[in-house]
Amino acid sequence: MYGSGDRNVMTLKDDIWSAAIREISGSGEVTIESLDVDDADTAQEVLEEMEERGWLVRSSDDEPWIPGDVAIDHLDLWEGTEFVIGE
């Protein structure tokens, strides 16, 4: 079981994950800045984990993340929309 400190970290990560999903659902992209969180390191960690799991993709560290195949499949928001990495 998680200790109280671990629980707070998991809640923060869950909040960031949810905020990222809302961002890609609304604007089609997400950046650490667009999440408006105090802990940029944790936000970076969560977004990179989302990228590893296929929820997000990006062409370089300077680009925002856009929906990956998993997000497109599960959220069913972009049927017929083509996202172009790096443009």
The CATH code of the domain that includes 50 is 1.10.10.10
Q: Is 40 a domain residue?
A: yes
Do 56 and 24 form a contact (C-beta atoms < 8 A)?
Answer: yes
Which residue range is the domain that position 66 belongs to?
4-75
**Which candidate, 59, 81, 57, places its Cα nearest to that of 69?**
57
pTM, entire model: 0.78
How far is residue 42 from each of residues 69, 80, 85, measured CA to CA in Å?
A: 23, 33, 24
Residue type, 35: L
φ and ψ of 80, to 5 deg: 85, -5
Q: Is 49 a domain residue?
A: yes
Q: What is the pLDDT of residues 9-63, one digit of tens each?
A: 678 899 999 999 999 988 899 999 999 888 999 999 999 999 999 999 999 999 9
